[in-house]
């Protein structure tokens, strides 16, 4: 029985065990996927335990996507470019980090490239989103984060401009703004449930049918952020699309096998309900 799993803090909200255990069963693989709630101070010991068990692969979620980097033997070029890791796998004998959140971002956009974008947040997910937007060729990318110190490296690593968190509402309403991405945990089930980066009255009417609000939170699937956007005519892309694409990319990396997108989406949608 091959062992895989998720490391984060917290992990109780994650649908990764649902997705991957369904995938293992569907492909008739002798494997199981578990979830481990690991506090930040215990991450180095957990990585050493992964080496000893050994785990065949692991998903990494908040708050470990950046702090795990120095604990690994190698990074893929993409993970190095993003500066954050959400997937661990073995390449020969080297514990290697990769980033499939990048694939999640591109899938969520689905080829719709606006002239300007606003990204909220400065963590590992925000870094993957910025790397994805860089690939699309968007020229005007603004980033607003509650922690200026954490956001500062983003302007060094990606073609974006930082704005104060207090200016996010004005940026949302700016002419030409065609995409806003919530890469913060605001709205996630738990203490942050029901919250949004914006007040209801902050949302302008969508400037075009292609104006898109994308949430990276997927539990709950319908966040307050997305309800606000839909009410003002914005196209809403929920976090499940983001999560599904990155999860299928992980499964492919670990097993070399693909899972059918439509079936996987039905499994996760049922779990969300």
Do 129 and 229 fall into the same domain? yes
Please name the helix (run of DSSP H) or strand (run of DSSP E) that holds residue 3, with its range, or none. strand 2-8
Q: How confident is the model at residue 20 (pLDDT cuts 50, 70, 90)?
A: very high
Do 32 and 90 fall into the same domain? yes
State the Cα–Cα distance between residues 195 and 85, nearest whole angstrom. Answer: 26
Residue 109's pLDDT is 72
Do 107 and 233 fall into the same domain? yes
Of the ranges 40-44, 107-111, 124-128, 188-192, which one carries the lowest mean pLDDT score?
A: 107-111
Do 84 and 131 fall into the same domain? no
Digit-coded pLDDT (tens) for 253-264: 999 999 999 999
Residue 65's pLDDT is 94
- Choose the catalytic residue: 65, 112, 150, 270: 65
Q: Write out the residue range of the structural domain in which residue 78 sits.
A: 2-99+244-272
Do 192 and 253 fall into the same domain? no
Digit-coded pLDDT (tens) for 49-99: 999 988 999 999 989 999 999 999 999 999 999 999 999 999 999 999 999
CATH of the domain at 17: 3.40.50.10860
| Residue labelled with tokens 């956009």 | 109
Reference 267, options 3, 13, 25, 87; nearest CA is: 25
CATH of the domain at 176: 3.40.50.720
Taking residues 197-226, report their average pLDDT: 92
Do 261 and 199 fall into the same domain? no
Residue 90's pLDDT is 96
Please check whether residue 226 is in contact with residue 215, taking contact to mean a CB–CB distance below 8 angstroms.
yes
Tally of domains in the chain: 2
Please check whether residue 213 is in contact with residue 188, taking contact to mean a CB–CB distance below 8 angstroms.
no
pTM, whole model, 2 decimals? 0.88
Do 57 and 89 fall into the same domain? yes
Digit-coded pLDDT (tens) for 130-155: 998 888 888 899 999 999 999 999 99
Do 109 and 225 fall into the same domain? yes
3-state secondary structure of 34: strand
Do 78 and 114 fall into the same domain? no
Kindly tell me if the per-residue pLDDT of 113 is higher than 80.
no
Q: How confident is the model at residue 209 (pLDDT cuts 50, 70, 90)?
A: confident
Do 159 and 232 fall into the same domain? yes
**112 in active site:** no
Kindly tell me if the per-residue pLDDT of 272 is higher than 90.
no
Do 126 and 20 fall into the same domain? no
Kindly tell me if the per-residue pLDDT of 111 is higher than 70.
no
Do 120 and 137 fall into the same domain? yes
Residues 246, 249, 250, 251, CA torsion sign: positive
Please check whether residue 187 is in contact with residue 217, taking contact to mean a CB–CB distance below 8 angstroms.
yes
Burial 180-190 (b: 16+ CB within 10 A, else e): bbbbbbbbbbe
């Amino acid at each position: 029985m091959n062992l895989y799993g998720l490391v984060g803090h917290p992990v109780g909200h994650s649908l990764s065990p649902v997705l991957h255990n369904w995938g293992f069963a569907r492909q008739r693989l002798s494997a199981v996927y578990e979830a481990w709630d690991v506090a930040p101070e215990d991450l180095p010991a957990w990585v050493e335990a992964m080496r000893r068990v050994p785990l065949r692969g692991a998903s990494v979620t908040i708050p470990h996507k950046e702090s795990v980097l120095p604990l690994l033997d190698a990074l893929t070029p993409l993970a190095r470019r993003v500066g954050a890791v959400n997937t661990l796998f073995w390449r020969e004998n080297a514990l290697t980090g990769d980033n499939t959140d990048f694939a999640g971002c591109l899938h969520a956009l689905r080829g719709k490239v606006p002239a300007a974008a606003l990204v909220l947040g400065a963590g590992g997910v925000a870094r993957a989103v910025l790397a994805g937007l860089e690939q699309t060729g968007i020229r005007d990318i603004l980033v607003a984060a509650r922690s200026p110190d954490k956001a500062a490296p983003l302007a060094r690593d990606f073609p974006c401009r930082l704005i104060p968190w207090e200016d996010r509402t004005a940026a949302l309403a700016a002419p030409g703004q065609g995409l806003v991405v919530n890469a913060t945990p605001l709205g996630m089930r738990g203490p942050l449930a029901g919250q949004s980066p914006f007040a209801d009255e902050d949302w302008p009417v969508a400037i075009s049918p292609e104006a898109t609000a994308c949430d990276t939170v997927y539990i709950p699937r319908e966040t307050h952020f997305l309800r606000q956007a839909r009410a003002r005519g914005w196209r809403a892309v929920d976090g499940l699309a983001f999560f599904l694409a990155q999860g299928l990319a992980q499964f492919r990396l670990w097993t070399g096998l693909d899972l059918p997108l439509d079936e996987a989406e039905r499994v996760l949608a049922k779990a969300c309900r």
